Structure 1
Amino acid sequence: MTVGNGAGGTGGRGVDWAGVRERVTALRKAPRAGEVFGARQYGFGRGYGHDFRLRAPLTEAEVTEAEEEFGVRFPADYRGFLLRVGAGGAGPSYGVFPLCRDERGWHWLDGEARSDHAFLTEPFPSAEQQARWTAEVDAREPVEADFPDEASHLAAYRAWNAEYERVYDLRTAGAVRLSNQGCGYYHWLVVTGPERGTVWEDLRAGDGGIEPLTLPGGGARTSFGEWYLDWLTASTREACEARGR
């Protein structure tokens, strides 16, 4: 996927969020709003999708409290989004996961599931490091023929699987899961490490990797603000243009 102008891991360039909330919510009344992917989808006898609705913005005190709880500082453009546009809601694919607080503390909400941010303060691994980790753990998968019986093989496999799951989670260390694209694909925003401020696409559900969103032709990384505003521009065009144009 290619979008916008790159951020280059700098934490995201300044974005003017003035009027963006109003532009997004106005699309609910656009003539072709239902044709924008993720806005009004239907399945299993019910409707779902973001419907161009946004949660209320957070206050400076709330954002600061969340950052202190997580032990990170959000990239500037994501921080501005939370303060000026909304805590989550309408956005690329099925929307931006909202940042919420309950009796257990701050978290991002994917449907009814709370985020697991245990590794948020760890640096986001490079693509090369991710590939090396994966190859190493794959190479250690127990082969049944190497064990004297099924029980010993099963015990070894369970230990290996626990290591595999840990490496799986570490591949998105230092990143916030932003949105669900459907079919198990996600977008992530890096908040810790050299790639801070850039958006990555998680294609592991289809046996792919975790890849940065870049400019056409493999250019610079894209930031949260560019990712979001590119979606808004494309959605406005799709929702508002007359058919046949």
Structure 2
Amino acid sequence: MIEQLDRIKNKLEQLKRFDKDLKLFGADTHEYLLNPILTSEQVTQFETDHKIDLPKDYVSFLTTIGNGGAGPFYGVNTLGDSRIIYFDNKEKGNHQYFDLSKAFPHIESWNVENELQELYEKIEKANEAGNEELEEELFKQKWEIIGGEEHDFGRLNTTDYGCGVTISLIVNGQEKGNMWTDDRTNDAGLYPTIELGNKGRITFLNWYELWLDNSLKEIQSKTQNGR
């Protein structure tokens, strides 16, 4: 793991040098800057408070690389902010949070497409009939179906992919240590992360390094093509 952490540091420095104009997606948000690292004591206190043991590679990142900052897409959230349920529609300081002490319930991709399809047909008919009250009630039913609290167990909101999609690190349950995508907003459900082109399950450090590798190839290609 030490070798991988050293590789990550070196690759991040390379990427920062090569992409001085912040051309890559998300770079103008995080600007390749990392937040200060956490101490082992701070991480241990977090684990104690939330009755979990964080994946070891993630802990190593927090205590060696940084507490969030530069990373895939719009950057990596801090440990504290990663507890916030992204679309909780709460004012700042009154957020809803993931329950880390309970196990993430899924081991395979999850969706309710068929059930939603029937509901969408009812929503469309209500819209065509101008029945706003029924339409609103049906949309509430939709979110009751896909927004059950069990989906918010045992995971951290690691990064914002954009367009309502977030990527999580599973910290409790059979999928502990793996990255999962939450695209319920766009009716694609929850599934093991594939956005960086990986073919199977991927852990935090491997996910982060894959982003670096992909980004270095992309910026080098842009440089060679004069873009």
TM-score tier by shorter-chain length is 0.7 to 0.9
In the TM superposition, residue 18 of structure 1 has moved relative to its aligned partner by: 2.1
In 2 relative to 1, CA 34–97 (structure 1 residues): closer, same or farther, beyond 3 Å? same
Aligned partner of 2:225 in structure 1 is 244
209-218 vs 234-243, which moves further: 209-218
The 5-angstrom pairing of residues 188-203 of structure 1 reads: 188-203=168-183
Aligned partner of 1:206 in structure 2 is 186
Mark the runs of 5 or more structure 1 residues left unpaired by the alignment: 1-12, 41-48, 144-149
CA–CA separation in structure 1 for the residues paired with 2:46 and 2:12: 25
In 2 relative to 1, CA 58–220 (structure 1 residues): closer, same or farther, beyond 3 Å? same
Aligned partner of 2:49 in structure 1 is 69
User: After TM superposition, where is structure 1 displaced by more than 6 Å over at least 4 residues in a row?
Assistant: 134-140, 156-159, 215-218
- The aligned amino acid for 1:190 is I
CA–CA separation in structure 2 for the residues paired with 1:85 and 1:196: 21
CA–CA separation in structure 2 for the residues paired with 1:217 and 1:237: 13
Match of 1:184 among 164, 172, 175: 164
- The aligned amino acid for 1:236 is L
- Percent identity of paired positions between Structure 1 and Structure 2: 28
In 2 relative to 1, CA 223–158 (structure 1 residues): closer, same or farther, beyond 3 Å? closer
- The aligned amino acid for 1:243 is Q
CA–CA separation in structure 2 for the residues paired with 1:31 and 1:163: 43
Please give the secondary structure, in 1, of the residue aligned with 2:100. coil
1:92 aligned onto 2:72: yes
Aligned partner of 1:227 in structure 2 is 207
The 5-angstrom pairing of residues 127-138 of structure 1 reads: 130-131=110-111
CA–CA separation in structure 2 for the residues paired with 1:117 and 1:77: 23
TM-score (norm 1): 0.68
What are the superposed Cα offsets for residues 173-219 of structure 1, whole Å, 9 maximum, x if unpaired? 11111100111111011010111111011122211111102599995
Aligned partner of 1:4 in structure 2 is none
1:21 aligned onto 2:9: yes
Aligned partner of 2:39 in structure 1 is 59
CA–CA separation in structure 1 for the residues paired with 2:143 and 2:207: 34
In 2 relative to 1, CA 17–31 (structure 1 residues): closer, same or farther, beyond 3 Å? closer
TM-score (norm 2): 0.73
Aligned length: 212
Flag the structure with higher strand content.
Answer: 1
Flag the structure with higher helix content.
Answer: 2
